């Protein structure tokens, strides 16, 4: 999976911080083909770093002016002739980063939380990320249910991108579709499922209940099925698709969108309730990944 290394993200951030806000916003639009709307300089930087295919591609962007790279090199102790052309400065910058990688100790983090997986590692496995993300997400969400008697964990909009979206389709007595936009509204609606409605969502993390895949542009899709409980009663089943994009500034995966389908027990067979499985196939998920 292509993208920037952690070292390149950190150093590119130093360059991006020198840019004017209007240039950052314009560069974000260019990198994402205007598919993602950003509202702040921080969001713009996160998006630019997440969707850039390589450090060289980013440095060659028109809005990354020659003077920005020249100043960055000077701060790093690399003094270049003032008349150096941009392609020469880019070549020297890439050489600097390559030498940093060679000298950097090879360390593996012992932190296995899904929120801190590195999607750009050559050995990155989206299925493993999917399993760990679901363990983390549903543990966090279910802890908000007062009926379980747990200490509520740190739930909030910080786990979502600012323009996150939630599509909730409920099939119980009838069919109802609701959509929510923005990290605050999405976070509050999901919270209401467990805190106010006192539901408990138990994901099926076996092979028939969980599937994950990644796109070349940094998006990871995680689809999972599971059962819904209230106290000792089984209320139905759910299927949930998460769209995850990594934030380069804090190295965490954040939720870009959620599609959640809930089916009440009245519309289900005993087999479906005892072993809920995904109905989405790989082709359908791949279309969401594009």
Q: Which of 8-22, 27-41, 53-67 has the lowest mean pLDDT?
A: 27-41
24 and 74 belong to one structural domain:
yes
91 and 228 belong to one structural domain:
no
63 and 134 belong to one structural domain:
no
| Average pLDDT estimate for 211-230 | 88
Domain boundary among 73, 103, 133: 103
Q: Has residue 193 got a pLDDT over 50?
A: yes
Does residue 251 belong to any structural domain of this protein?
yes
195 and 271 belong to one structural domain:
yes
- CB count within 10 Å of CB 272 equals 17
Cβ-proximal residues to 223 (8 Å cutoff; 6+ apart), any chain: 210, 211, 212, 239, 240, 241, 242, 278, 280, 285
- Residues 239-266 as b/e (b if ≥16 CB within 10 A, e otherwise) read bbbbbbbbbbeeebbbbbbbbbbbbebe
**Phi and psi of 212, rounded to 5°?**
-140, 150
What pLDDT, on a 0 to 100 scale, did the predictor assign at position 138?
93
181 and 242 belong to one structural domain:
yes
CATH code, domain carrying 237: 3.10.450.50
Average pLDDT, the chain: 84
Contact 203, 138 (CB under 8 A): yes
Q: Tell me: the pLDDT tens digits for 75-122?
A: 888 889 989 999 999 999 999 898 877 665 443 333 334 444 544 455
Question: Domain range holding 166?
Answer: 118-289
Does residue 172 belong to any structural domain of this protein?
yes
Does residue 113 belong to any structural domain of this protein?
no
The owner of tokens 């790989």 is 282
Domain boundary among 103, 133, 155: 103
What pLDDT, on a 0 to 100 scale, did the predictor assign at position 171?
82
160 and 204 belong to one structural domain:
yes
91 and 123 belong to one structural domain:
no
Number of domains in the chain: 2
Does residue 1 belong to any structural domain of this protein?
no
Task: Look up the pTM and report it.
Answer: 0.58
139 and 265 belong to one structural domain:
yes
Nearest alpha-carbon partner for 244 in 194, 285, 192, 189 = 285
Does residue 228 belong to any structural domain of this protein?
yes
Q: Has residue 290 got a pLDDT over 80?
A: no
Does residue 108 belong to any structural domain of this protein?
no
254 and 162 belong to one structural domain:
yes
Does residue 271 belong to any structural domain of this protein?
yes
Does residue 28 belong to any structural domain of this protein?
yes
Q: Which of 57-71, 92-106, 124-138, 244-258 has the lowest mean pLDDT?
A: 92-106
238 and 267 belong to one structural domain:
yes
pLDDT band, very low/low/confident/very high, at 223 (cuts 50, 70, 90): very high
Q: Has residue 276 got a pLDDT over 80?
A: no
Q: Which of 121-130, 157-166, 176-185 has the lowest mean pLDDT?
A: 121-130
Contact 42, 249 (CB under 8 A): yes
Domain boundary among 53, 79, 103: 103
255 and 187 belong to one structural domain:
yes
80 and 142 belong to one structural domain:
no
């Amino acid at each position: 999976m292509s993208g920037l290394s952690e070292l390149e993200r950190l150093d590119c951030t130093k360059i991006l911080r020198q840019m004017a806000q209007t240039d950052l916003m314009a560069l974000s639009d260019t990198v994402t083909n205007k598919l993602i709307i950003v509202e702040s300089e921080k969001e713009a930087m996160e998006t630019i770093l997440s969707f850039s295919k390589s450090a060289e591609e980013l440095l060659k962007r028109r809005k990354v002016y020659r003077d920005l790279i020249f100043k960055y090199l000077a701060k790093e102790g690399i003094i270049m002739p003032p008349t150096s052309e941009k392609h020469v400065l880019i070549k020297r910058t890439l050489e600097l980063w390559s030498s940093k990688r060679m000298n950097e100790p090879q360390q593996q983090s012992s932190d296995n939380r899904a929120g801190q997986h590195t999607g750009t590692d050559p050995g990155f496995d989206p299925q493993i990320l999917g399993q760990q993300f679901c363990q983390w997400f549903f543990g966090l969400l279910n802890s908000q249910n007062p009926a379980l008697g747990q200490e509520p964990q740190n739930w909030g909009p910080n786990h979502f991108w600012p323009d996150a979206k939630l599509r909730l389709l409920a099939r119980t007595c009838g069919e109802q579709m609701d959509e929510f936009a923005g990290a605050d509204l999405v976070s509050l609606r999901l919270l209401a499922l467990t805190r106010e409605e006192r539901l408990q969502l138990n994901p099926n993390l076996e092979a028939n209940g969980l599937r994950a895949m990644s796109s070349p542009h940094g998006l990871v899709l995680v689809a999972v099925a599971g059962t819904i409980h209230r106290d000792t009663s089984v209320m139905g089943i759910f299927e949930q698709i998460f769209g995850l994009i990594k934030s380069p500034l804090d190295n965490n995966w954040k939720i870009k969108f959620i599609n959640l389908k809930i089916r009440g027990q009245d519309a289900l067979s005993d087999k479906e309730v005892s072993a809920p499985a995904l109905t989405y196939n790989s082709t359908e998920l791949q279309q969401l990944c594009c």
